[in-house]
Amino acid sequence: MSDQIFAFGLGIGTQNNEGNWLEVFYSAPSINVEQSTLDALLESTNYEGGNSTLVLEEGDLNRLHMSLLKAGNIEQAELASRLKASTQPVVLCVLATNEAPTNPAEAYLKLQLISHRLAQPHSVVLDGMFGLLINTAWTSEGPIDVRELADRQLSARMQGRTIEVFSVDKFPKMLNFVVPTGIRVGDGARIRLGAHLGEGTTVMHEGFVNFNAGTLGSSMVEGRISAGVVVGNGSDLGGGCSTMGTLSGGGNIVIGVGEKCLIGANAGIGIGLGDRCTVESGLYITAGSKVAVLDENNQVVSTVKARELSGQSDLLFRRNSETGAIECKTNKTAIALNEALHAHN
Ligand SMILES: CC(C)(COP(=O)(O)OP(=O)(O)OC[C@H]1O[C@@H](n2cnc3c(N)ncnc32)[C@H](O)[C@@H]1OP(=O)(O)O)[C@@H](O)C(=O)NCCC(=O)NCCS
Per-residue pLDDT of the chain (345 residues; tens, 9 = 90+): 446 899 999 999 999 999 999 999 999 999 999 999 999 999 999 999 999 999 999 999 999 999 999 999 999 999 999 999 999 999 999 999 999 999 999 999 999 999 999 999 999 999 999 999 999 999 999 999 999 999 999 999 999 999 999 999 999 999 999 999 999 999 999 999 999 999 999 999 999 999 999 999 999 999 999 999 999 999 999 999 999 876 545 556 678 999 999 999 999 999 999 999 999 999 999 999 999 999 999 999 999 999 999 999 999 999 999 999 999 999 987 666 666 656 666
Architecture of domain 5-131: 2-Layer Sandwich (3.30)
Q: Where are the domains of the chain?
A: 5-131, 138-169, 174-342
164: number of Cβ within 10 Å: 9
Indicate if ligand 1 lies below 6 Å from the C-beta of 223: no
- Strand (E) or helix (H) holding 208: strand 208-209
174-342 — its CATH code?
2.160.10.10
Identify the pLDDT of residue 4.
82
Which string of DSSP letters, residue by residue, matches 60-74? HHHHHHHHHHHHT-H
Indicate if ligand 1 lies below 6 Å from the C-beta of 280: yes
Pocket perturbation via mutation, ligand 1, pick of 204, 220, 281 by most ligand atoms within 8 A of CB:
281
Looking at the annotation, which residues are catalytic? 222
Indicate if ligand 1 lies below 6 Å from the C-beta of 239: yes
Identify the pLDDT of residue 332.
85
Identify the pLDDT of residue 254.
75
Q: Nearest C-alpha to atom 47 of ligand 1 is from which residue? A: 238
Indicate if ligand 1 lies below 6 Å from the C-beta of 318: yes
Which residue from 119, 195, 138 is spatially nearest to 23, judged by alpha carbons? 138
Which residue from 337, 340, 345 is spatially nearest to 183, judged by alpha carbons? 345
Identify the pLDDT of residue 341.
58
In this structure, whether the domain defined by 138-169 belongs to CATH 3.30.60.70 is answered with: yes
Identify the pLDDT of residue 3.
65
Distance CA 248, CA 251 (A): 8
14: number of Cβ within 10 Å: 18
Strands (E), 129-177: 136-139, 142-145, 165-169
Give the nearest ligand 1 atom to 282 CA. Answer: 39
Indicate if ligand 1 lies below 6 Å from the C-beta of 319: yes
Q: Nearest C-alpha to atom 15 of ligand 1 is from which residue? A: 298
